[in-house]
Structure 1
Amino acid sequence: MGASGWGYYVPYQEDLDGALQELRERTFRGGDYFWAREGDGVPPRARRPRPSTEEEMWADEWQQHSGTHSILDVFRVQREDEEPEICAVQPVTVEEARRATGTDRLTRAHVPALENLARERGYGRCAVLHGADGRPEEIYFWGWSGD
Structure 2
Amino acid sequence: MGASGWSYLVAYQPDLDAALDALRDTVFAEGDYWWARGETPNVASDYPHRPATMEELFDDEWVQEMGTHSILDVYRVLAEREKPDFGTVEPVSAAEALRVAGTERLTREHLDAIKGLASQAWFGRCAVLHDERGKPEEIYFWGYSGD
What TM-score do the two structures reach when normalised by structure 2?
0.92
Bigger Rg, which one: 1
Where do 4+ consecutive residues of structure 1 move more than 3 Å? Answer: 38-42
1:102 aligns with 2:102: yes
TM-score (norm 1): 0.92
CA 1:61–1:107 in 2, change beyond 3 Å: closer, same or farther?
same
**C-alpha spacing 1:99/1:30, structure 2 compared with 1 (3 Å):** same
Paired residue for 1:20?
Answer: 20
Paired letter, 1:67: G
Q: CA RMSD in A?
A: 1.9
Residue 80 of structure 1: CA displacement? Answer: 1.7
Distance (whole Å) between structure 1 residues aligned to residue 90 and residue 142 of structure 2: 10
Q: Distance in 2 between matches of 1:79 and 1:8?
A: 20
Q: How many pairs does the alignment contain? A: 143
User: Which residue does 1:89 correspond to in 2?
Assistant: 89
Seen in structure 2, the aligned counterparts of structure 1 residues 57 and 97 have a Cα distance that, compared at 3 Å, is same
Q: Counterpart of 1:140? A: 140
Distance in 2 between residues matched to 1:41 and 1:16, nearest whole Å = 30
**What does residue 112 of structure 2 align with?**
112
Contact 1:4 1:146 in 2 (8 A): yes
| Structure 2: 5+ residue stretches without partners | none
- Judge conservation of contact 1:36–1:66 (CA < 8 Å) in 2: no
In structure 2, relative to structure 1, the CA distance for the partners of 1:40 and 1:79 (3 Å cut) is: closer
8 Å Cα contact 2:34-2:41 kept in structure 1: no
Are 1:51 and 2:47 counterparts? no
Question: How far off its partner does 1:39 sit?
Answer: 7.4
Task: Give 1:111 deviation, angstroms.
Answer: 0.6
Query: SS state of the match for residue 18, structure 2?
Result: helix
Q: Could you tell me how far apart the structure 1 residues matched to 2:100 and 2:39 are?
A: 40
Q: Which amino acid aligns with 2:9?
A: Y
Deviation at 1:49, TM superposition (A): 3.5
Paired amino acid for 2:29: R
User: Percent of pairs identical after alignment?
Assistant: 57
**C-alpha displacement of 1:137:** 0.2
Change (3 A) 1:88 1:34: same
Q: Larger % of strand: which?
A: 2
Provide the rounded CA distance (Å) in 2 between the counterparts of 1:79 and 1:41: 33
- SS of equivalent residue, structure 1 residue 35: strand
Q: Which runs of 5+ in 1 are unaligned?
A: none
Distance of aligned partners of 1:40 and 1:84 in 2 relative to their CA distance in 1, 3 Å threshold: closer
Q: CA–CA distance in 2 between the matches of 1:91 and 1:19?
A: 12
